Amino acid sequence: VEAEPATRRPLDATPSIGLSVILPAYNEAALIRSRLRRLRRHLERRGDDWEIIVVDDGSNDGTGGHVATIARDEPRVRLVVMPRNRGKGAALARGMQEARGAVLVATDADLSYSLADLDAAVSAVESGADAAAGNRRDSASRINLPLSLIPYMFRRWVAGAAFGAVVRFLFGPTVADTQCGLKAFSRRAAATALPRVRTRRFLVDIELLLAVRGQRLRIVEVPVHLRYLSGRSSVRMIGGLPRTLWDLARIKAADLRGGYG
């Protein structure tokens, strides 16, 4: 269990293992044990040295306790605790900072993206891309969901299209689906991108992508296979809008100042 440090230090250049999997987790107690079991089994089969870094972002449902129990028996599972909820961006950046791997891959803690997608993103980076981003809008992507979630999914789809258009208007092309939960980075890309990131919330993905693009590094996109279990989502499309617009404005201001170049 690692406490949150006061300041951000740079990511050291040399990896000591092959793969770091980063799971930002906020109130994931219901699923986290089974998901860690599944992920460990998968990583064991892959063969390279691995670690899983769970960043518990101030959960109040015992998420951290479950992970701590697992981490006691399995040192490759690491728990980083943020004492208070600071947002997915803060948690992701913190997890990336702790990573020891040559490749860093981040995915949602509920493993809603298939582990084959995780492998595809990692392979893309291993074969030379600097970053890989999942693309839910790729024609090869698939989504598995209960029928009751179709209205929610439809709203997400429409909102996502509008959001994507705004992001393209403000920042030009990066990737089709900036907000996809599956992203992989080479250690070099992570090290150059991390110091440029300041958004604590969901738009951290845009900053990471802008920073990678700003270094003229190569981003590839991979199709994804998503599985939705229930309507439990932390996405607040309307309620979160003011904060999202504010974050977009701040990222644009930083972009104009050359903050990602």
Ligand X SMILES: Nc1nc2c(ncn2[C@@H]2O[C@H](COP(=O)(O)OP(=O)(O)OP(=O)(O)O)[C@@H](O)[C@H]2O)c(=O)[nH]1
If one counts every other C-beta atom within 10 angstroms of the C-beta of residue 34, the result is 11
Using CB under 5 A as the binding rule, the residues of this chain from 112 to 131 that contact Mg ion are 112
Closer residue to ligand X (CB): 18 or 160? 160
Residue 88 binding partner per list Mg ion, ligand X, none, with a CB distance cut-off of 5 to 8 Å that depends on partner kind:
ligand X
Residue 46 C-beta: closest distance to ligand X, Å: 21
Closer residue to Mg ion (CB): 166 or 235? 235
Closer residue to ligand X (CB): 26 or 185? 26
19 to each of 104, 105, 181, how far by Cα in Å?
6, 8, 17
Residue 176 C-beta: closest distance to ligand X, Å: 16
Residue 109 binding partner per list Mg ion, ligand X, none, with a CB distance cut-off of 5 to 8 Å that depends on partner kind:
ligand X
Q: Is 80 in the site for ligand X (CB under 6 A)?
A: no
Q: Enumerate the β-bridge partners of residue 185.
A: 104, 131
Residue 127 C-beta: closest distance to ligand X, Å: 27
Contact 113, 90 (CB under 8 A): no
Q: Is 235 in the site for ligand X (CB under 6 A)?
A: yes
Residues near Mg ion, by CB under 5 A: 108, 112
